[in-house]
Amino acid sequence: MAEMETGGGGHKKGPGVKKGKKLSTRVDLTPMVDLGFLLITFFIFTTTMSQPTAMRLNLPKDTEKPEDQNKVKASGALTLLLAKNDKVFYYEGELAPDGSNFKSANFKEIRQEIINKKKNTDPKDFMVIIKPNKESTYKNAVDALDEMTINDVKRYAMVDIFDVENQLIKASEGAK
């Protein structure tokens, strides 16, 4: 550190070394530390560390011609129906006319269902169809799409819900 050369008396210690009058340069740093930490807390609270991320979604083109449409074996499909209060209903393959394969679950249980279905199906036939109903929220739709990413489902689609399915949802909601 640079030292101020203060002249003044005192005996010489050696050639060229002047001994100045000793002034204490100790500053009480406590208030400064206080201030420092106060500002730190302020910045910690105001900072936004996590940048929002973006989830990509490519929509399929609506095709009128049947030959352009993707053909999926009905047996390889898993249909998720999103309903209100974060409920998920699902069925495998085609919906049985009596609704016997129509089951209910929640978002935690549905992951296992997707994994099971994926395991038991030929990969080229496997497809998940997501049908949010009118009372489901945007969060539900994003969660369902996220579930596709999590479980590495290659083919999935968001499709409009059918009336039959809506009625089944209504019926099973009413049953509880």
Please state the closest distance from residue 60 (CB atom) to another protein, in A: 8
131/77 Cα distance (integer angstroms): 13
Please state the closest distance from residue 15 (CB atom) to another protein, in A: 33
Residue number with CB closer to another protein (75 or 137): 137
To which residue do tokens 């049947």 refer? 66
119/113 Cα distance (integer angstroms): 10
Give the SS3 label for residue 78: strand
Please state the closest distance from residue 124 (CB atom) to another protein, in A: 17
Residue number with CB closer to another protein (94 or 146): 146
60/156 Cα distance (integer angstroms): 10
Residue number with CB closer to another protein (32 or 96): 32
91/40 Cα distance (integer angstroms): 53
Q: Which two tokens stand for residue 136?
A: 């489901």
Residue number with CB closer to another protein (76 or 132): 132
Please state the closest distance from residue 24 (CB atom) to another protein, in A: 12
Task: Please report, as ranges, the residues that interact with another protein according to CB under 8 A.
Answer: 28-30, 32-33, 36-37, 39-40, 43-44, 46-62, 82, 111, 115, 132-143, 145-146, 149-152, 158, 160
136/139 Cα distance (integer angstroms): 8
